[in-house]
Amino acid sequence: MLINIFHGMMMAIADSVPGVSGGTIAFILGFYDKFIESLHEFFKGEKGGRKVSFFYLLNLGLGWLFGLLLSIFFLSELFQSKIYFMSSVFLGLTIMSLPFVIKSEIEILKKHKDKFYFIFIGIFVVALLVYFRSKSKLIGNFDLFNPNTFDYFYLFISGAVAISAMVLPGISGSSILLIAGVYIPIVEAVGEVLRFNFEKIMSLFVMSLGILFGIFMSIRIIRDKMRKSRGKMLYLIIGMIIGSIYAIVMGPTTIGGNAALSTENFSLLGFFIGIIILFILEIIKIFTSTKKKRTAE
């Protein structure tokens, strides 16, 4: 139970920053397939399997909620005061996640080399989201939100796509929200609600509906594709990781008109901290795997 709660906490911390997805963390720590199967079993399975999945997801969810609260209270302030340092950390996390994903599935990638072009599809998906960001008035400010425009629909779709990305081991849901221009407003709105200021509760409600819709629609598709077309999916994920690097570089521009991340404001220390975080997670994965083997013996 404690391990599952820890896994959930690590997923939330990853999902709450525009870098590595919770799916990537699940992949690195070795519980991704169990996570996807449990989600599918909970929504589509039989009564017995649904009960087991419920308690597994409950433990994971408790850890996720704890990790999210930690992130909300600390990240919003860090983004305002240390945006370039934080962006450098996320850049290190994202770039380092690429070799981890490749290493985990190297045999399948070699076997399906003819599906290499899916990398470009993944990059295109991210580029498309960047285009839609430029069409929304929501960039960096919920005060510009007008319920009489298409912005509610845009927010709904952003939530649905973000949660779909969250369960993919590649691009984080926060990266999708950052690309869509609604990440900072969402973090700030959640922080306001936690302080009992409910002015922006409707925006969060619409986003939540989009998240629920995204979970319901995407889990079965992702599960089936990861089973039947794993080679294609892995190349697609790699493409999305590469595309998300651009989103992180441009991330500071969504806060108060800051300049994009560049060689002048890039933090080498932050970049290496991001890399070290993933190495620590890999060590934890090895430790938990060894402990499980000893328990089984």
pLDDT in tens, the chain (297 residues): 777 888 888 787 776 665 566 777 777 677 877 888 887 777 666 666 777 888 888 888 888 888 877 776 776 677 667 888 888 888 888 788 788 778 878 888 888 888 899 999 988 877 776 666 555 554 444 454 555 566 778 888 888 887 776 776 656 676 677 667 777 677 777 777 777 877 778 878 888 888 888 877 777 777 777 778 888 888 987 887 788 787 778 767 766 667 888 888 999 999 999 889 878 877 877 776 676 666 656
DSSP class of 115:
G
Q: In the structure encoding, which two tokens stand for residue 9, read together?
A: 């906490």
Q: Is 268 within 8 Å of 147 (Cβ atoms)?
A: no
Q: Is 79 within 8 Å of 73 (Cβ atoms)?
A: no
User: Which domain, by its residues, includes 166?
Assistant: 1-294
pTM over 0.75: no
**DSSP helix/strand/coil, 20:** strand
Total tally of structural domains belonging to the chain: 1
CA–CA dist 162, 158 (Å, integer)? 6
Helix ranges (DSSP H) in 82-182: 83-104, 106-111, 118-133, 151-166, 173-180
